[in-house]
Each structure stands twice: as structure tokens, then as C-alpha cells.
Amino acid sequence: MLTALPWEKIAQELNKRGYATTGSILTSQECEWLANLYSATELFRSRIVMQQHAFGRGEYQYFAYPLPQIIEELRSAIYPYLVPCPKNLFRRQLQPLQHFKLGLN
């Protein structure tokens, strides 16, 4: 399923906007199973309440290791496609600086 995603387009969107969407990757049953894990606080290493940091409203949690198998599998499968993206973003961000000359004479 992941190999069928338009990775070139996803990379272009990441480079252009800083984010990209993939469409559905997980089944509705997998999503429901993962959502049900949210209340199992022992599975998470930290919880962020966004209002406390002036990030907006809501909260999110970071899974503790070992990750749930489905998360680990997704991470391992997607990572090779995303490795080049930060390098390209970094190059794009530096590009204007490469042509910038200080007017210090």
C-alpha cells in the first residue's frame, strides 16, 4: 500500500508547504484500535496540553518505547521515502542566504 503512494508528489508538497497529506493509509479498524490506546496512559511517555504552552486547544501524547507494532511498521516503511525531504527543505531555506551580500565595506 505505501509503495503505491505518490512519493514524488508528497516530497514536492513537503518542500513547498512543509507538510503533505497521503490519504488513507490505515484501515478504519486500525484507526479505531489506535484511538482506543489513547486512554492507556502507561503506553505514553509524555502528554502535551496545548493551552498550557499557548499552542491552541487540545492535547497529544508521545508513545513510549517499544512502539505499538503498527506504528513501528509504518515508521520503518515511510522513513526511507522521507529522508531526502529535510535536506531539500534545508537547502531551499538557505538558498536566499547564499546570494546575500552584506554591505559592510
Grid cell 515511510 in the structure block, residue:
78
Q: What is the pTM of this model?
A: 0.67
Mutual orientation of helices 84-98 and 69-82 as an angle, nearest 10°? 40
- The pLDDT tens digits of the residues spanning 72-94 come to 999 999 888 887 776 655 555 55
Whole-number average pLDDT of the chain: 82
Mean pLDDT, rounded, for 47-65: 86
Is pLDDT at 55 greater than 90 in this prediction? no
Q: How far apart are CA 80 and CA 89, in angstroms?
A: 16
Is pLDDT at 67 greater than 80 in this prediction? yes
